Chains A and B, each alone.
Chain A
Amino acid sequence: MECLTISNLCKTYIINKRQNNVLRNINLTIQSGEMVAVMGPSGSGKTTLLYTVSGMDEATAGKVDFFGKELTKLSANEMSDLRLQEMGFVFQQMYMLKNLSVYDNIILPAYQVAKGNKKQSREQIKERAKMLMQKLGISEVSDNAVTEVSGGQLQRACICRSLINQPKIIFADEPTGALNKQNSIDVMNELTRINEEGTSILLVTHDMKVASKCERILYIEDGDIRDEISLGKCHVGDNLPARERKLNDWLIKLGW
């Protein structure tokens, strides 16, 4: 089933009367349960692509369908509801509300969704948050302030938050960019496990090790998808060096 269908997507910025075409006629389809990485040099349009297809930024032209819903036709409020309920976000910096504890930050989006929604009680949300924190190994820091935990723990908390509303897709922008090696491995293992459970993931990365865990890798340059490679589904414990080598060869060919 198609999760995300992008057709002729363009994004143009006009800065000082100069037109800058960041995305040029992007066509892309992401299947439900797929884990896709977007790579490319700095300024190639990776992050813009992520922001535009997730509805955080408006497309200049083109169409984005999310499970049959045309995002470009949704109002700002409808788009916000969709992001809150059906999409999850993980960023390079661990953006959280610093006045709230780790636990409160995680449950915040779910409480907002639960407003007037009888299906999900606050007790159920708390149970789910606890379960997610346990899975990601941050239960012991749940009551800490966001300034009192490590970067890795915080990024895992961000992943918990992105999962709290059981999204259909997670958008991750350099999710390991601010983490050390071990924390990066841990975070990617978690994302892989989440993907195994059926959640689609579209992530942007510079890191080959991160990208090698994805099923498909797109290479974007000057706002256009220049090429893509399929590495097949990755499972926790798979032979990663082989996937990394294949990816490396492909990237070298592209002039990475």
Chain B
Amino acid sequence: MLIQILKKDMMKRKGVNFILFLFITIATIFLTSSINNIMIVTSAVDYYMEYANVPDLNLVLNTEIDKEKIDTWLKQQTFSETVIDYDYNQFYVIADQSITVKKDTQSSKLDNQGTAIYLSTLDSDYSQVFDKEGKPLDLKDGEIAVSISMMKRSQLNIGDTLIIRHGNTEKEFRIAKATKDAAFGNEMIGMSRFIVNEKEFKEFSEDSIKIGIYYIVTNEPIKLVDGLNEQGFNGIMNTITIDMYKLVYSFDMIMAALLILIGICLILIALLVLRFTLVFSLEEQYQEIGILKAIGLRNYSIKKLYLIKYFVIVVVGATLGTLISIPISQIMIDSVSQNMIMANSSVNMGINILCALIIIVLVSLFCYFCTRKLNKVSAITAIRGGYTGERFSKRKGIHLSRSRHLSVPFYLGINDIMNHLPRYIILMITFCMSFILITIPLNTINTMKSDEMAKKFNYDPSSAVYIHKIEDSQNQKYRNSKDLMEGVARVEKEMKEKGYDAKISAIPIYFINYEYQGDTSRYNIMSTQLLGKENTFSDYSAGTAPILQNEIAFSQGIMTERGWTIGDYVEATINGEKKTMIITGIYSDYMQLGKSARLNNQLDCSQEVMFDYWTLMVDMETELTQREMASLMNKEFPDYEWNTAQDQIDQNVGGIQAALSEMNIPMTAMLCAVIMLITLLMEKLFITREKGEIAMMKSIGFTYRTIRHWQLTRMVLVVLASMIISIPLSLLSNHYILKPIFAVMGADVAIQVNPLQTYLLYPGILLIGIMMATSLATRGIKKINIREMNNLE
């Protein structure tokens, strides 16, 4: 009998049942495959770091002045067991202009897209590099190995030829291997190393620029970094902990995390829809329930009749979802395994099954919770169809007689919403969730495109165009700001010769030791200096920009971490001399993850070793946009890489913006499809519920068009209300979701919203989808026979 009831019930509302089934299936696919991916990637990153023997701490030096002192200090640390082991390795710093790619007969410059290139060899047991299969590299003379991510980014292939000039040496290599490089292989790191064999590495001239890296094995990396800072060794450019490398790999999980979010939203929507259909079924079959109660069936036995149907839908949906999720999980894992070595790159079925079981239990419990209403109804009340008078509270709607201009369909729509607010609130929650979901990528992209974002990365948004690097093919990387500004003058001259009167400004980057007033501790802080123009474009959250030579500004991150305040003094070691400086300003930007210093542009740092320099800003009179200008300059001066502020931001955030932009249309389409399914389902249920009233309206002469208009108006009103409600909710999501994500890079940023796009255009697309779905569902009205008036309660 139970099977017969179930079969009948399944067939009765097959459309609604199918949509519910679809939601459960899709949600299971998203949740199980994404959770599987995140769990596997998390454990795989640890395995990969261990496999490649990435040390706990990497200490990067740009000069070997204090190498002996550092060695001695590290040896001392081994006695106190703070340092377990360490090794030292050297990389050559290769200028962008110094690499030529030869493909067949064509030669071109390497398109490194802002990544710093280093030449290295395999002479350390730490931070090892492997081939695609995870085997150690064996490179012959004339062979070079490049990381997989770099090959993808620069469109290099095995067999291509690279000509590398460094110092007085020029050598030609054939790309023999694509490598998996745990430490420098991820594009988010912004560094990539090209590997040659030891013999050829040594053939590069000794006078070439190189960086040194200490690989340190320690149980206390933070304590060690603090200790190093306090020593104030010269030349320490950066310290990278293993956790930072791991964090970089976690960006591979962003897509999986987004899918989990969508999966959770789908489950929530499925629960809302389930509650609606379940309560609706209970109300519709009130009298039948009464009869069952009257003949002595217990509450649980009656509930079972309803629950079994949803249990079957959930079990079948979750099972199908799990089966589909297995190949999807495998695809996701395969994509991750391209960039790392994994112990086991097959799907952990257990995770998928466990997720599916959790979904089944959760949904079943929720259904049981929804049937509680049945306990409260007595047999006689149910038999009477609820007509005890108690079910009818005071009318909440508006009076048609009191409205002057409302059309009948419009009035009926508003009146319905006001009378059954909880029912429509469920729909509004669903719509609001979709609207908010759609605003997240839009606001992220808008924020990334904003002037404020450019300023956070130290780019003047009003500049005409930007140049990435200006070393010419004869030059090695610039060692100090004097070399850099000579290069700037050269480029300005080249531009002037072609009729472009431009002023180029540069930001050299130094790592400078600071001592706080009266304190013996030293702090190695990345410091920048804007040369070539007044620092007018940068914002300061407190105080002012350093105007005099002895003035300095620190980022909020440094000021908070160290407990410094404006007006305090610090002693900086610049050009080998100690200079006392007063803190005049606090700012917040993304340089060095929000921990940096800004020096005054009059301060002479020409002898200070420069770690690197930031993208150059070109100011000139032009009517062209940055994009047009970059395109023009790339044609006029093809030796340099000309970019827009957006290109620069993109390089810094690892192409997230492009990925989000690509995702925008599929995500909108997917959301639109989901929301259309929900609307279709809800509208079908509304029509089923209102069959009697619709038949009655038809009988007294209301046309199909008028009734359809009523249904459509009601849904549009719900959507419009949801659009309005979602505006403040979206602002909250900006504050509590997006802001913390941007803050990971080291600074707060005001989330940019394009109101027309975010609150009108995209929700408008969803509105059109909802109207289409409603129109589709209301076609069922035509089939309602006037005799179905008898269904009226």
Contact with B along A86-113 (1 / 0, CB 8 A): 0101010101111111011001110110
A181 interface residue per 8 A CB criterion? no
A254 interface residue per 8 A CB criterion? no
- Choose the segment among A36-44, A76-84, A185-193 that binds chain B (4+ C-beta atoms closer than 8 Å): A76-84
Contacts of B792 in A (CB 8 A): 93, 95
Asked, given contacts A95-B792, A98-B793, A99-B416, whether A77 binds B397 with beta carbons under 8 Å apart, the answer is no
Neighbour of B400 across the interface among A51, A57, A104, CB < 8 A? A104
- Choose the segment among B22-30, B615-623, B783-791 that binds chain A (4+ C-beta atoms closer than 8 Å): B783-791
Neighbour of B700 across the interface among A83, A143, A145, CB < 8 A? A83
Contact, CB under 8 Å: A81 / B407: no
Contact, CB under 8 Å: B701 / A115: no
Neighbour of A107 across the interface among B394, B400, B692, B700, CB < 8 A? B400
Contact, CB under 8 Å: B693 / A97: yes
Contacts of A84 in B (CB 8 A): 700-702
Contacts of A97 in B (CB 8 A): 412, 693, 696-697
Asked, given contacts A97-B693, A104-B400, whether A76 binds B704 with beta carbons under 8 Å apart, the answer is yes
CB distance from A149 to the nearest CB of B (A): 12
Contact, CB under 8 Å: A51 / B705: no
The distance in angstroms between the C-alpha atoms of A129 and B399, with both chains bound, is: 14
Contacts of A81 in B (CB 8 A): 701, 703
Contacts of A134 in B (CB 8 A): none
The distance in angstroms between the C-alpha atoms of A245 and B394, with both chains bound, is: 48
B401 interface residue per 8 A CB criterion? yes
Contact with A along B393-405 (1 / 0, CB 8 A): 0110101110010
Contact, CB under 8 Å: A85 / B701: yes
Contact with A along B765-793 (1 / 0, CB 8 A): 00000000000000000000011011011
Contacts of B416 in A (CB 8 A): 99
The distance in angstroms between the C-alpha atoms of A74 and B703, with both chains bound, is: 13
Asked, given contacts A89-B700, A99-B419, A108-B408, whether A147 binds B400 with beta carbons under 8 Å apart, the answer is no
Contacts of B698 in A (CB 8 A): 56, 80
A246 interface residue per 8 A CB criterion? no
Across the two chains, which residue of chain A brings its CB closest to B789? A95
Contact, CB under 8 Å: A96 / B696: yes
A148 interface residue per 8 A CB criterion? yes
Contacts of A129 in B (CB 8 A): 401
Which label, helix, strand, loop or mixed, suits the secondary structure of the A interface?
Answer: helix
Neighbour of A80 across the interface among B407, B411, B701, B793, CB < 8 A? B701
The distance in angstroms between the C-alpha atoms of A82 and B701, with both chains bound, is: 7
B79 interface residue per 8 A CB criterion? no
How many A residues face the partner with a CB closer than 8 A?
Answer: 39
Contacts of A63 in B (CB 8 A): none
A126 interface residue per 8 A CB criterion? yes
CB distance from A140 to the nearest CB of B (A): 15
Contact with B along A129-151 (1 / 0, CB 8 A): 10000000000000101011000
Neighbour of A148 across the interface among B392, B401, B411, B790, CB < 8 A? B392
Across the two chains, which residue of chain B brings its CB closest to A91? B789
The distance in angstroms between the C-alpha atoms of A39 and B703, with both chains bound, is: 31
CB distance from A204 to the nearest CB of B (A): 14
Contact, CB under 8 Å: B399 / A101: yes
CB distance from B4 to the nearest CB of A (A): 20
B706 interface residue per 8 A CB criterion? yes
Across the two chains, which residue of chain B brings its CB closest to A158? B700
A161 interface residue per 8 A CB criterion? yes
Asked, given contacts A93-B790, A98-B793, whether A56 binds B699 with beta carbons under 8 Å apart, the answer is yes
Neighbour of A104 across the interface among B389, B401, B404, B699, CB < 8 A? B401
B381 interface residue per 8 A CB criterion? no
CB distance from B790 to the nearest CB of A (A): 7
Contact, CB under 8 Å: B793 / A111: no
B415 interface residue per 8 A CB criterion? yes
A69 interface residue per 8 A CB criterion? no
Contact, CB under 8 Å: A95 / B696: yes
A122 interface residue per 8 A CB criterion? yes
The distance in angstroms between the C-alpha atoms of A93 and B792, with both chains bound, is: 9
Neighbour of B704 across the interface among A77, A103, A115, A145, CB < 8 A? A77
Contacts of B400 in A (CB 8 A): 100, 104, 107-108, 111
Contact, CB under 8 Å: B699 / A145: no
Asked, given contacts A77-B704, A104-B399, A145-B395, whether A99 binds B415 with beta carbons under 8 Å apart, the answer is yes
Contacts of A83 in B (CB 8 A): 699-701
Across the two chains, which residue of chain A brings its CB closest to B419? A99
Contact, CB under 8 Å: B395 / A126: no
The distance in angstroms between the C-alpha atoms of A107 and B389, with both chains bound, is: 25
Across the two chains, which residue of chain A brings its CB closest to B389? A147
Across the two chains, which residue of chain A brings its CB closest to B696? A95
**Interface-central residue, B415, B700, B793, by most chain A CB under 10 Å:** B700
Contacts of B793 in A (CB 8 A): 98
Contact, CB under 8 Å: B702 / A80: yes
Contact, CB under 8 Å: B407 / A126: no
Across the two chains, which residue of chain A brings its CB closest to B394? A145
Contact, CB under 8 Å: B415 / A100: yes
Contact, CB under 8 Å: A111 / B700: no
CB distance from B413 to the nearest CB of A (A): 11
The distance in angstroms between the C-alpha atoms of A162 and B401, with both chains bound, is: 17
CB distance from B433 to the nearest CB of A (A): 27
The distance in angstroms between the C-alpha atoms of A105 and B703, with both chains bound, is: 17
Contacts of B696 in A (CB 8 A): 95-97
Contacts of A89 in B (CB 8 A): 699-700
Contacts of A100 in B (CB 8 A): 397, 400, 415
Across the two chains, which residue of chain A brings its CB closest to B408? A112
The distance in angstroms between the C-alpha atoms of A100 and B400, with both chains bound, is: 8
Contact with A along B680-711 (1 / 0, CB 8 A): 00000000000011001111111111100000
Neighbour of A103 across the interface among B399, B412, B703, B790, CB < 8 A? B399
Across the two chains, which residue of chain B brings its CB closest to A123? B404
Contacts of B697 in A (CB 8 A): 97
CB distance from B698 to the nearest CB of A (A): 7
Contacts of B787 in A (CB 8 A): 51, 57
The distance in angstroms between the C-alpha atoms of A83 and B695, with both chains bound, is: 13
The distance in angstroms between the C-alpha atoms of A29 and B272, with both chains bound, is: 56
Would you list which residues of chain B between 735 and 790 have a CB under 8 Å from chain A?
786-787, 789-790
CB distance from B789 to the nearest CB of A (A): 5
CB distance from B103 to the nearest CB of A (A): 70
CB distance from A156 to the nearest CB of B (A): 16
Contact, CB under 8 Å: A103 / B395: no
Neighbour of A93 across the interface among B702, B706, B789, CB < 8 A? B789
CB distance from A77 to the nearest CB of B (A): 5
Asked, given contacts A99-B415, A103-B401, A148-B392, whether A111 binds B702 with beta carbons under 8 Å apart, the answer is no
CB distance from B689 to the nearest CB of A (A): 11
Asked, given contacts A112-B706, A148-B392, whether A99 binds B701 with beta carbons under 8 Å apart, the answer is no
Contact, CB under 8 Å: B701 / A122: no
CB distance from A198 to the nearest CB of B (A): 20
Contacts of A96 in B (CB 8 A): 696
The distance in angstroms between the C-alpha atoms of A100 and B415, with both chains bound, is: 8
**Interface-central residue, B387, B394, B401, B704, by most chain A CB under 10 Å:** B401
The distance in angstroms between the C-alpha atoms of A69 and B703, with both chains bound, is: 19
**Interface-central residue, A84, A85, A126, by most chain B CB under 10 Å:** A84
Contacts of A56 in B (CB 8 A): 698-699, 786
The distance in angstroms between the C-alpha atoms of A51 and B401, with both chains bound, is: 30
Contact, CB under 8 Å: A109 / B701: yes
Contacts of A126 in B (CB 8 A): 401
Contacts of A93 in B (CB 8 A): 789-790, 792
Given known contacts A51-B786, A95-B696, what 4 new A-B pairs fall within 8 Å (CB)? Answer: A57-B787, A80-B702, A95-B699, A95-B789
Can you name 27 A-B pairs with beta carbons within 8 Å? A56-B786, A57-B787, A77-B705, A80-B704, A82-B701, A85-B701, A87-B701, A91-B789, A93-B790, A95-B692, A95-B699, A95-B792, A96-B696, A97-B412, A97-B697, A99-B420, A100-B397, A100-B400, A100-B415, A104-B399, A109-B701, A109-B702, A111-B411, A112-B706, A115-B407, A147-B392, A161-B700
A-B pairs with the 7 shortest C-beta distances?
Answer: A84-B701, A83-B701, A95-B696, A104-B400, A80-B703, A99-B419, A56-B786
